[in-house]
Amino acid sequence: MLALVGSGEYLPPMEPVDRLLLGRLPGPPRVVCLPTAAGTEGPERIGYWSHLGEDHFTRLGVPVQSLPVVDRASANDPSLARAIAEANFVYLSGGKPAYLYQTLEGSLAWESILAVIRSGGLLSGCSAGAMIMGEAFFGFSGRSRQAGFRLLPGATVIPHFDEIPDWVVAPVRAWITQGLTLIGIEANTALFHNGHQMEVLGAGGVTVWNKAGKTRYTQGIVPDWNDR
């Protein structure tokens, strides 16, 4: 299971969404928050995301811990990897998508995240955490392109879709001609994928934009873009 969030992680508007996600877990919730994408922003920002995640899920009444996976060394720390593997809900908060990908790619932490997914658990990512799940993602200049983890093959994820300026999105539109589908996720909104179908959760919408056209979906099932 995947949940891709446009923005608003750990804030009150996302509480209804996260309650729904917690209810879809295969067993009692065991939440792990990873501030990895903020790993270059210093101890204060790392601490901010760690405490915000813990406070959020504590309010929701479930066990949670934030783990200091913030660089390649910590991403390959066996004890941290084991702690991730024992969770059934892993949350990647926002920051720098390229740094997040480079830190996790090929690491023990990423192998543990994949094990959580394979066992029926949930990977949730907001902003940068959502971007790395696609086949490719863009830098915030809108011009660079990097391979993602391909958990959503054929897609590139654009978070903050109702908040970012058009000049950021415009260069990425050219990727449509190369066969990619743009998935624009708005604030306080998640695209949930249970392995069989996709669903919009939250206050906003999700825009699917490819060669077949551009469609915005709210509160409900999103058709598989590969079938369009």
Q: Is the pLDDT of residue 144 over 90?
A: no
The C-alpha atoms of residue 140 and residue 137 are separated, in whole angstroms, by 10
How many domains does the structure of the chain reveal?
1
The domain of 192 spans 2-227
Which two three-digit tokens encode residue 61? 């009444």
Return d(Cα 81, Cα 62) in angstroms, integer: 21
Q: What's the CA angle centered on 29, arms 24 and 35, to 5 degrees?
A: 105
pLDDT tens per residue across span 55-77 = 999 999 999 999 999 999 999 99
Does the pLDDT of residue 138 top 90, yes or no? Answer: no
How confident is the model over 92-127, as pLDDT tens digits? 999 999 999 999 999 999 999 999 999 999 999 999
What does the mean pLDDT of the chain come to? 92
d(CA 58, CA 62): 6
Tens digits of residue pLDDT in 173-216: 788 878 889 999 999 999 999 988 999 999 999 999 998 889 99
Report the CATH number at residue 15. Answer: 3.40.50.880
